[in-house]
Amino acid sequence: EVVLTQSPGTLSVSPGERATLACRASHSISNNFLAWYQQIPGQPPRLLIYGASSRATGIPDRFSGSGSGTDFTLTVSRLEAEDFAVYYCQQYGSSPYTFGQGTKLEIK
Amino acid sequence: QVQLQESGPGLVKPSQTLSLTCKVSGGSISSDGYYWSWIRQQPGKGLEWIAYIYHSGRASYNPSLKSRVDISVDTSKNQFSLNVSSVTAADTAVYYCARDNRLAPVTRGAFDIWGQGTMVSVSS
C-alpha cells in the first residue's frame, strides 16, 4: 500500500498570497496518478487536480499541480477567501487507492 | 448533470451490519467508463477508499476492509450499495459514494463526482 504524507499539517497564509502544499509517497506512484481534492467543512471533497498536473473541469487556473515519482506539490496562487479549506492528495496508481492525511490551509 | 445521493440508517449497533445505498440521478449507472466507489471519513480524520464496482458487477475492495465489506449494483434501480458487517465504533464515519471516471486513462481512479455523504454512528 502506498502511504501518502502531506506537509505541513496546517499552513497559515494571507489572502492574495501563494500557498504551496506538499505530498510525499512511500513508493513511486505509477504514471503519476496523483489527485488533489479540496474539502470545505460539511461538504464532500472536490476534485481539483488529476494526473498530478491536470486541472479538473471548472477549476480556476490559480490552482496548479506538479511533481512526479514520490514528490508532488499543489500550488494555490493569489489566495481567495473560498480557498481556505483542507486539501488532500490521493494516489490511484495502485490498489488500494490511498489518501494523505490532509493539509489545513488557514487565513493568516 | 450526474448527482449521487447516499442513504442509510444513521445509527447502527455494534456487531450488526451497516447497509448503505447510493442513488445515481442525471445519468445511467450502466454507462461505460464509470466505476462507482464508497469512501469513508472517520470523525476528524482523513479519507479511506472502501471499494468500487462496475455495472457488470466487477468489484474491487480495500484489503483492510475486504473481509467485512460487500458492494453490489442494481442497474434497474440505478443505484449501488455497501454492506459492512460486524461493525464497531471504528466504523463510525461519514460515508460517501463517488464516481470514478475512467473515460481517459489519466482519470482512472480519481473521483470527479461525490455525494453529500451520510453520517453513520455505531453505538449501543
Dump the DSSP string for A5-64. EEE-SEEEE-TTS-EEEEEEESSPPGGG-EEEEEE-TTS--EEEEETTTEEPTT--TTEE
Contact B112 A45 (CB under 8 A): no
Query: What is the rounded average pLDDT of the residues A64-89?
Result: 96
Residue B4 burial (CB count, 10 A): 24
Binned average pLDDT, 10 residues per bin, chain B of 124 residues = 96 97 97 96 93 97 96 98 97 97 88 97 96
Residue B104, pLDDT score? 85
pLDDT at A75: 98
What is the residue-averaged pLDDT of chain A?
96
Beta-strand ranges (E) seen in B26-92 are 34-41, 47-53, 59-61, 69-74, 79-84
Q: A98 vs B111: CB contact, 8 Å cut-off?
A: no
Q: Is B10 on the interface with A (CB under 8 A)?
A: no
CA distance from start to end of chain A = 35
Q: What is the pLDDT of residues A14-56, one digit of tens each?
A: 999 999 999 999 999 999 999 999 999 999 999 999 999 999 9
Residue B28 pLDDT: 96
B43 to chain A, any CB pair closer than 8 A? The answer is: no
What span, in angstroms and rounded, lies between the C-alpha atoms of B7 and B118?
Answer: 7
Helices (H), B40-94: none
Bridge partners (DSSP) listed for residue A46: A38
A35 to B64: CB separation less than 8 angstroms, yes or no: no
Closest residue in A to B94 (Cα) is A44
**A51 neighbourhood in chain B, CB within 8 Å:** 106-107, 110
What does R_g of chain A's alpha carbons equal in angstroms?
A: 13
Q: What is the pLDDT of residue B106?
A: 84
pLDDT at B69: 98
d(CA B28, CA B75): 8
Cell 488533489 locates to A36
Q: Specify the pLDDT at position B45.
A: 86
Nearest C-alpha of chain A: how many angstroms from B121? Answer: 16
> Which among B46, B48, B107 is the nearest to A50, CB-wise?
B107
* Residue among A57, A92, A101 whose CB faces B108 most closely: A92
